[in-house]
Amino acid sequence: MNVVAAKKQTEPVDEAQNRLLDAGALKALAHPLRVRIFDILSQYGPQTASSLAEQLGESSGATSYHLRALAKHDLIREVDGRGTARERWWERPKGSVTISTPEAVRTPSGLAASQIVVTETYRQRHDQLMRFLAQSWSSDDALEEAAELSTANARLTREQFEDVRDRIAAIITEAVRTHRDQEGDDVRPYLIRLDMFPIDGPRVREGS
């Protein structure tokens, strides 16, 4: 999820396929389990209520209920031509989703819904990173893992920040769009994060 000014997206913005969530859709998503379901469909592709239940440690009845709630607001949809009346397959439509907009947070309920979705999404991202690190440290193939974790500190003006953000986001958007439907034995889902935010700290004056 990227945070760009007042916008929060599940992917870098592709204006051709970007959906701005209205208040109804945002409130429908504002449930920890629904955020997790939405995330799994985004990262791993189509799932059934049963497969989601197994991954989430929930009953298939619970996941089926939440799937229907998400589908009611077109956050997800049934996969055409796949599944049966007893076992439906669900997917998330392609494209980026803007979770929080100035319009969505104008009301207390809209702001609360945005906070739930964003907080739960970042919590899941953190948990995924911690699991990856734990698995890497305990694996004999840790050094062979294709991954990149890095941080940097920069001193930027607002304009410079926006320039850097936009250039990095453009690279990510191109990669997502180009390889979105790629399949193969050597293809794996990757989580790409872009976190850029101002940090508070002591200001050292010249000559002090």
Where do the structural domains in the chain lie, given as residue ranges? Answer: 2-119+150-179
Reply yes or no on whether the pLDDT at 17 is more than 80: no
Q: Which residue has the higher pLDDT, 49 or 2?
A: 49
Report pLDDT for 136: 84
- Residues above pLDDT 90, as percent of the chain: 56
SS3 at position 32: helix
Mean pLDDT, residues 46-71? 97
Query: The whole model's pTM is what?
Result: 0.81
Report pLDDT for 146: 83
Q: Does 2-119+150-179 carry CATH code 1.10.10.10? A: yes
Average pLDDT, the chain: 85
Report pLDDT for 52: 98
Computed from CA positions of residues 100, 56, 181, 185, in that sequence, does the dihedral angle turn out positive or negative?
A: positive
